Structure 1
Amino acid sequence: MELKAKGSTSIKALLVEDIGVCRLVLSTFLLRLHCEVTLAMNGKEAVDLFLEGKKFDIVLFDKDMPVMTGPEAIVKIRAMGETDVKIVGVSADNHAMEAFISAGADLFVPKPIRMEALGPIIQDVINKKTNDMV
């Protein structure tokens, strides 16, 4: 499912989260930050989107999901040569950072995520995209 904010930037975000409340909160934050948001319920759905040729500027992955975990999906996505996409691991699990970083994530943000934490990450993606166009 894709969601677009009014006046959205060209930033394409993929949110991979199996819990409805977390999906709602994070997608609302991303929309407020003017991202175009695609939702996936688990890691396999995320990997399938990349296999279909979809491109994203940033992906937020939950850790523990049914079918395929966030770190498992990250390994597969990086193995496809997707090195330009910023991947952010998101979890309430105390040991999640190590799992995400060793899988190939660029960053880890503990849950609950606050808008103040997500804003600068999205701004970095916007800045990088702007610089790549120059």
Structure 2
Amino acid sequence: MKTIKVLKAALLIAAVLFNGAAFAYSSEGETEEICKKPKFMNFSLPVYKMPEKTEVAPESELTFIISPWSDPKTLKLTAKNQNLPFNVESTSSFHRVKAKLPAAFNGSFVRINASVKAVLGCDDQMGWLVKVAEK
């Protein structure tokens, strides 16, 4: 009689332990990589806003930094819906983007738009409004 009770208790403990291990197992087997969106930082020109109405010099050079997990080959930079030529200097910590405002934008408002994809595929975009002074 005692052996039956001990056997039942042992079976109960074994069943509980087995079920706990089964619940801990994940059928996915692989972890899904999460894509971090690219970040835009340190835009060098003053952004136009009221009431300051700050203007930038004609044909100004602009720079900004994008996060290191961005793919600089996918970077698109436009101003007034026109492609803006740029250079990228890459380090292990960031990608620095440099461009120059064309002379055609002198005396006008310019919306500068940048978009880039991250290495893992997600993307982000950023824009800045500047007022270019008359030459």
- TM-score when normalising by structure 2: 0.25
Task: Please identify the structure whose Cα radius of gyration is greater.
Answer: 2
Q: Which has the higher strand share?
A: 2
Greater relative contact order structure (CA < 8 Å, 6+ sep): 2
